[in-house]
Structure formats: C-alpha cells, structure tokens
Amino acid sequence: MYAVIKTGGKQYRVAQGETLKIESVVGDVGSAIVLDKVLAVGSGDKLIAGKPLVSGASVQATIVSHGRGDKIRIFKMKRRKHYQKRQGHRQNYTEIRIDGISA
C-alpha cells in the first residue's frame, strides 16, 4: 500500500517502512506525527484519488532526526559593471519514517 502526501509545498509518494527527508516539522526526535493531507491512496492496481484530498485518510510517521542539507552556492554577476554577489543557503529538513497508512 502506498500514498501520495503533501507537506511543505511538495508531494511525496510514500510506503510503509520508508524514510524520507521533508521540509522542517516541529517536534522532538522519536515523537509521532500524523500527516493528514493525503492526495491519493493506492494498493496494487487500485487507486483512490482525492478531490483534492482523500477524506478520512492519514499517514502516521515518526521523526527520526533533524538536520541541514548541503550548502548551495549562489553567484550573480553582471559583466563590465563591477557587480558580483555571493550567497549561500542550507535548507533545514526533518527525516521521518513512515509507520502506517490508513485509508
């Protein structure tokens, strides 16, 4: 069984037992969270798609860790104008483990 969830402005296809990194979620390591924005639930060749969400569906997950991603370097330059700008960014993330999917 799998589900398509929406969190942090992104969509993820998840199944039970998987771990994935999502946008930062408030919570302690080891605590359980419920993701209730479920867009679709599927099992085998059967698929239930929501309009836009599947009513009554949810995904239970456990927070494994919090962290920061790799540094992204941004460099802007305009030629012959003596303009250069350097900037860096590290995005925060939360790693979760999917414990169950309820349709």
Q: What's this model's pTM, rounded to 2 decimal places?
A: 0.85
Residue 73, pLDDT score: 98
Domain ranges of the chain: 2-102
Query: Looking at the predicted structure, is the pLDDT value of residue 85 above 90?
Result: yes
Residue 62, pLDDT score: 97
Element holding 52 (H helix, E strand): none
Residue 103, pLDDT score: 84
pLDDT average, residue stretch 35-62: 94
Model confidence band, residue 30 (pLDDT cutoffs 50, 70, 90): very high
The C-alpha atoms of residue 94 and residue 65 are separated, in whole angstroms, by 6
Query: Looking at the predicted structure, is the pLDDT value of residue 78 above 90?
Result: yes
The C-alpha atoms of residue 59 and residue 103 are separated, in whole angstroms, by 9
